[in-house]
Chains A and B, each alone.
Chain A
Amino acid sequence: MIHINISKKLHGVCGEMSLDIDLNINQGEFIALTGASGSGKTTILRILAGLEVAEGEIKVHDASWLINTKSITPQKRSIGFMHQENALFDNMSVLENLLFVKKDLELALRLLDLTDLTELQNRYPKTLSGGQKQRVSLCRAMMQKPQLLLLDEPLSALDAKMRSKLQADILSLHKEFNTTTIMVSHDPSEIYKLSTRTICLQNGKVIKEGKTKEVLLKSQGSQKFSFEGELLELKEVDVVIIAVVAIGQQIVEVVVSKKEVSTFKVGQKVILSTKAFAPTILHPSL
């Protein structure tokens, strides 16, 4: 069990705010931290890693990492930290980068095997693609067999295909080592694939927490499809009205009756929803 009860004053975009977090995390859980920029997600990871000071308590199993304002150094914490930017040593091969963390050849080769990097073990970082470098960073973060793995938007700079590969790697390493993991991410599909619990932050406070599916699934009443959009136009056609709504980068049309639309005004925010039984799924090429 990891117990985190911390507070810290932060200077956010909207002025000073207080980061107040009280969390219990079970061994082996995969937690997703999500929320708008500046809500305190990365700060939590940095406090856990010992890279920022905070007040409160961090207890990992029986070890206290923070009591009041007294904390142990980052080196004494059993942590693996992976960022968006990899920090590999360019003058060392892939294998040497891993062994630099810990001289455990058996573990290094097992990690490289699990992430399909065995063939690249003697290559130098400069000769690797962005995705390959991130996979090496992930292996390196696991070399300590950390009690806590922290992932700070590790895949946000990668293309969709490489993200998918890295997500599979993260998942297989999580299954293999059962490492308690906290991942900062904005990507709902990534959060859904990887995490079991999701915590949403806003201005330094937890505003929503629960099983990932329950937190992510947008629903309205019993309707499972629910999207917020802006009403752009109401076109009267025959006895019906066609409502044109902008959702994200897309424009969609919805047929509604005149009665139904009488209380709506162009320009307002609307929720489009439908039952899970109504939409059809097609291949993108169709």
Chain B
Amino acid sequence: MSKFCAIIIDIQNHDSINIVSFKAGDFTLSMMSLELDESITVGTEVVLGVKASSVAIAKEFVGELSYANQLDLEIQEIQEGELLCALVLKAKDFELESIITKASKRRMKLQVSDSVTALIKSSDLFIVEVL
């Protein structure tokens, strides 16, 4: 799980569904959620989390994707296993981990210092704790 600090900038609510927007560094992120704790309001600082296996990677992509969170980052580190591959992605102080298949890494010819887009569905992003 990658964790990073963020501040809530907007909450849209309908019945028990919420779409929460955050500012984390230079990025704006969006999270889909059921009922939120009363302590979670606009202006609340939180730690956000996402599983490394929920982070997809796009490279030189042209077109539209439904992913609400598309973060332009640079590959800082690549760790290869037999079938899987762990990537550390960075932009300034913002760090994200992604686990993809080695076949995808090979097909996309991913290398350290490549510019890529990390893709996270809003339903995969979560609040780890309220600060």
A residues bordering B, Cβ < 8 Å?
Answer: 219-224, 238-240, 255-260, 275-278
Contacts of A256 in B (CB 8 A): 1
Q: Which residue of A lies closest to B97 (CB)?
A: A257
**Shortest Cβ distance from B101 into chain A, in angstroms?**
10
Q: Which of A219, A222, A257, A277 has the most CB of B within 10 A?
A: A222
User: Do B124 and A258 touch (CB < 8 A)?
Assistant: no
Q: Measured between alpha carbons, how far is A258 from B49 in the docked complex, in Å?
A: 16
Q: Measured between alpha carbons, how far is A172 from B81 in the docked complex, in Å?
A: 59
The verdict on B5 contacting chain A, using a C-beta distance below 8 Å, is no
Contacts of B82 in A (CB 8 A): 238
Q: Which of B46, B86, B124 has the most CB of A within 10 A?
A: B86
- A276 in contact with B34 given A221-B46, A221-B127 (CB within 8 Å): yes
The verdict on B33 contacting chain A, using a C-beta distance below 8 Å, is yes
Chain B interface residue count, CB cutoff 8 Å, equals 31
User: Do B37 and A219 touch (CB < 8 A)?
Assistant: yes
Q: Select one of A239, A260, A278 contacting B1, CB under 8 A.
A: A260
**Shortest Cβ distance from A259 into chain B, in angstroms?**
6
Q: Select one of B79, B83, B128 contacting A221, CB under 8 A.
A: B128
Q: Tell me which residues from 98 to 131 in chain B have a Cβ below 8 Å from any Cβ of chain A.
A: 99, 123-124, 126-130
Task: Known pairs A238-B84, A260-B97; list 11 more (Cβ under 8 Å).
Answer: A221-B47, A221-B49, A223-B127, A238-B81, A238-B83, A239-B84, A239-B86, A239-B99, A257-B1, A257-B52, A260-B52
User: Do B126 and A275 touch (CB < 8 A)?
Assistant: yes
- A259 in contact with B97 given A221-B126, A221-B128, A239-B79 (CB within 8 Å): yes
Contacts of A239 in B (CB 8 A): 79-81, 84-86, 99
User: Do A222 and B86 touch (CB < 8 A)?
Assistant: no
Q: Which residue of A lies closest to B18 (CB)?
A: A222
Q: Measured between alpha carbons, how far is A256 from B86 in the docked complex, in Å?
A: 11
Contacts of B81 in A (CB 8 A): 238-240
The proximity string for B residues 6-40 relative to A, scoring 1 for CB distances below 8 Å and 0 otherwise, is 00000000000000100000000001111011001
What are 13 inter-chain pairs, A to B, with CB distance below 8 A?
A: A221-B128, A222-B33, A222-B36, A222-B40, A222-B126, A223-B126, A238-B82, A239-B84, A239-B86, A255-B53, A257-B86, A257-B99, A275-B126
Q: Measured between alpha carbons, how far is A258 from B36 in the docked complex, in Å?
A: 30
